[in-house]
Structure 1
Amino acid sequence: MNEMISTILNHRSIRDFKDKQLSDEQIKTIVSCAQAASTSSFIQAYSIIGIKNKDKKQKLAELAGNQEYVAQNGHLFVFCADLSRHEFIGEMEGKDVKASIESTEKFMVALIDASLAAQNAAIAAESLGLGICYIGGIRNNLQAVQELLKTPERVIPLFGMTVGYPEKINDQKPRLPFEHIYHEEEYEQDKDTYVRQLQEYNQVISSYYDERTGGKRKDRWSEQMANMLEKQTRMYMKEFVQKNKMNLR
């Protein structure tokens, strides 16, 4: 197994960082690796906002649900879907691009481009011996996040990524079985097989939580997911996206 594959397979979310900031060179390397990711039709429909200011980090931590590691880390990146520059390009080149950049397709391209860039950034950071954690909590209150980051129309902050020197490294959470994720030739739709795989995975996850918490937690994965999905969260998102003139068509 080569070093890069080992880095990828050893991933785990880090939520406890040392009080040590990333250097400008490290930040540039991580962002450059993000930019090296594949991008649909070379559209590059994303932007990355780096946060060094402690007060701004603290505010984002509060907006993300009072997650302290959003404030205490080596650097905070915010990945944004960005079609604003493409509106400007249309004006610059004298082309009517409005219908295209307001389409669901281009919105999906922006989401995918940003996600691919972010994963490249994550792998780059981990290859440098750093730890990372994705922060979806910034979508709890996107209006306030937009105001704080001063993002224009057609730019939507999607998620944050904390990066830094790990203070504590937890055990890796076991993923779903390979057979449950990977389908050959066509989608596996045998319900009995599906349920059996989930039940086996439930036992693995329950044992993981039991060992990690000293018996204080033993919930199953399907139980955890069902409880989470039963609660409706961030239901304002469609209206918010359309208000920002994206995904209108």
Structure 2
Amino acid sequence: MNDTLSLLMNHRSIRKYSARPVMDEDLRAIISAAQMASTSSNVQAYSVIAITDAAQKQRLSGLAGNQAYIVECPVFLVWCADLYRLKKGADAHLADKQAYADSTENFIVATVDAALAAQNAAIAAESLGMGIVYIGGVRNHIAEFSEALELPELVYPVFGMCLGYPDQEPGLRPRLPVEAVLHQGTYNCNGIETEVAKYDQVSSAYLSERTGGKNSTPWSELMARRLAEPVRLHMQDFLKQKGFMKR
């Protein structure tokens, strides 16, 4: 186990932050590290919006589920898939050629680019003693959230990220067994139920300890509840209105 693996294996979501500020030079270093993540064909199809103003964080928190740590963290980062910059940069060279910035493939490219860059940023932040938590709630009211950030066409907020110095030491959440995730040569459907059952025991024990015995719901049951809930069904219409996935 080297230092890099140790850092990765000790990741945890941080939802309580100290008052210690994030220095501008550290934020720039984190974003610079994010920029070195892999990117499809070097399109770099993402942008990051850093929010430090208390009133703006309060407003965005209200649109993202009223999660207190959005307000309390020193810096709230919004990671956006961004094909607008790509299209603007290329327009002068396209002449009469048809552009496909609105394709589903380019939507996937931009979304993956944003996710890869954000994870680089998370690791960079943790290497500096900071902590993060991802915020999918930015998609709860995504049209209003996008309007608040003045996002143009072909830009959408993929997720938010709270950033700051931890004021808590949460336990490590166990993950699925490697055997449930790693396949050799082809996808192996055999044994999935067995591996999930093993993880159910581990995750149930973890949840029971974390809640002082108040909750021990196994992972598979929690996932069944999630799949049965119609979450953010507005996303498809919103993305198409923003110019994504038209073909």
TM over 0.5: yes
Whether 1:244 and 2:237 are equivalent positions in the alignment is no
Task: Determine the structure 2 residue equivalent to 1:210.
Answer: 208
Quick one: structure 1 residues 97 and 24, their matched pair in 2 at CA, closer, same or farther if it must change by over 3 Å?
A: farther
Q: Which amino acid aligns with 2:220?
A: S
Distance 2:93 2:149 in 1: 28
- Is this contact kept in 2: 1:90–1:97, CA < 8 A? no
**Residue pairs, 1:99-110, within 5 angstroms:** 99-110=99-110
- Is this contact kept in 2: 1:34–1:117, CA < 8 A? yes
Distance 1:81 1:22 in 2: 24
Quick one: structure 1 residues 48 and 180, their matched pair in 2 at CA, closer, same or farther if it must change by over 3 Å?
A: same
- Is this contact kept in 2: 1:20–1:73, CA < 8 A? no
Shift of residue 228, structure 1, vs aligned partner = 1.4
Distance 1:34 1:124 in 2: 8
Distance 1:72 1:159 in 2: 17
Gaps of 5+ in 1: none
TM (normalized to structure 2)?
Answer: 0.97
Moved more, 114-123 or 98-107: 98-107
**Residue pairs, 1:37-48, within 5 angstroms:** 37-48=37-48
Shift of residue 74, structure 1, vs aligned partner = 2.1
Aligned CA-pair RMSD: 1.1
SS of alignment partner, residue 236 of structure 2: helix
Whether 1:176 and 2:170 are equivalent positions in the alignment is no
Distance 2:76 2:29 in 1: 14
Task: Determine the structure 1 residue equivalent to 2:139.
Answer: 139
Task: Determine the structure 1 residue equivalent to 2:54.
Answer: 54
Task: Determine the structure 1 residue equivalent to 2:219.
Answer: 221
Please give the per-residue CA displacement for 1:19-75, whole angstroms capped at 9, x wherever unaligned. 222000111001000101111001111000000111111111111111100111121
Quick one: structure 1 residues 136 and 98, their matched pair in 2 at CA, closer, same or farther if it must change by over 3 Å?
A: farther
**Residue pairs, 1:14-29, within 5 angstroms:** 14-29=14-29
Shift of residue 89, structure 1, vs aligned partner = 1.9
Distance 1:115 1:72 in 2: 23
Quick one: structure 1 residues 20 and 223, their matched pair in 2 at CA, closer, same or farther if it must change by over 3 Å?
A: same
Gaps of 5+ in 2: none
**Identity fraction in percent:** 46
Shift of residue 91, structure 1, vs aligned partner = 2.3
Quick one: structure 1 residues 138 and 98, their matched pair in 2 at CA, closer, same or farther if it must change by over 3 Å?
A: farther
Quick one: structure 1 residues 95 and 21, their matched pair in 2 at CA, closer, same or farther if it must change by over 3 Å?
A: farther
Q: Which amino acid aligns with 2:53?
A: N
**Residue pairs, 1:114-125, within 5 angstroms:** 114-125=114-125
Whether 1:86 and 2:86 are equivalent positions in the alignment is yes
Task: Determine the structure 2 residue equivalent to 1:77.
Answer: 77
Quick one: structure 1 residues 89 and 10, their matched pair in 2 at CA, closer, same or farther if it must change by over 3 Å?
A: same
Q: Which amino acid aligns with 2:143?
A: Q
Q: Which amino acid aligns with 1:239?
A: D
Shift of residue 96, structure 1, vs aligned partner = 5.1
Task: Determine the structure 2 residue equivalent to 1:234.
Answer: 232
Distance 1:168 1:138 in 2: 24
SS of alignment partner, residue 205 of structure 2: helix
Please give the per-residue CA displacement for 1:107-144, whole angstroms capped at 9, x wherever unaligned. 10001110110000000000101011000000001111
Shift of residue 98, structure 1, vs aligned partner = 5.4
Distance 1:93 1:37 in 2: 27
Distance 2:158 2:95 in 1: 28
Distance 1:96 1:141 in 2: 37
Distance 1:147 1:70 in 2: 18
Task: Determine the structure 2 residue equivalent to 1:160.
Answer: 160
Q: Which amino acid aligns with 2:77?
A: F
Task: Determine the structure 1 residue equivalent to 2:192.
Answer: 194
